[in-house]
Structure 1
Amino acid sequence: MTDKSTPGNMLDAAKAKVNEAADRARETGHNVAHAVTGDVHHKAEALEDRAKAEVHNNQAHAEYSEGKREATDGDGR
């Protein structure tokens, strides 16, 4: 993370949450494909997407916390 203003941090947090949602949607699609076909490749891709979603979730929390800290420290930067 770089030193950003509160809106910049909040925007990055929102972007990370959108990416997390997309990763979780892909994970679900791969799980369905695995259930239908039994192909373990789909299960592996689902696990990869779940890991990516967790990374984006952690990034969102970090950006939000930094934005909140910036908002409360008085200067908003």
Structure 2
Amino acid sequence: MSDKSALENMVDAAGAKVNEAADRAREAGHNVAHAVTGDASHKAEALEDRAKAELHNRESHAEYNEGKREAQDGDGH
């Protein structure tokens, strides 16, 4: 992680959660499209969006934990 303040880390964590939610919404849309059309490309796009959501989830947790540590020790690391 970089030398960010606790607030900057928390803002980044929130941004990653927003991105995760958007990815999960797109995943759901592709799953519906796959169910309706049977087109395998929608299923592939849903799997891709799920992977992106998981990545954003891990990013959010890492940023949150770093922000929490920064809030506790305040040394900028």
Shorter-chain TM-score: which interval? over 0.9
State the distance in 2 between where 1:71 and 1:59 align.
18
Percent of aligned pairs sharing the same letter: 76
Give the residue type in structure 2 aligned to 1:68.
K
State the distance in 2 between where 1:22 and 1:15 align.
11
5+ residue gaps, structure 1: none
Question: What's 1:68 paired with?
Answer: 68
Are residues 6 and 76 of structure 1, via their aligned partners in 2, closer, same or farther at CA, if it must alter by over 3 Å? farther
The alignment yields a C-alpha RMSD, in angstroms, of: 0.9
Normalising by structure 1, we get a TM-score of 0.95
Question: What's 2:28 paired with?
Answer: 28
- What is the aligned length? 76
Poorly superposed stretches of 4+, deviation over 2 Å: none
What are the equivalent positions in structure 2 for 1:34-49 lying under 5 Å apart? 34-49=34-49
Shift of 1:14: 0.2
Describe the superposition over 1:12-68 as per-residue Cα deviations: whole angstroms up to 9, x where unpaired: 000000000000000000000000000000000000000000000000000000000
Is the Cα contact below 8 Å between 1:28 and 1:46 reproduced in 2? Answer: yes
Question: What's 1:58 paired with?
Answer: 58
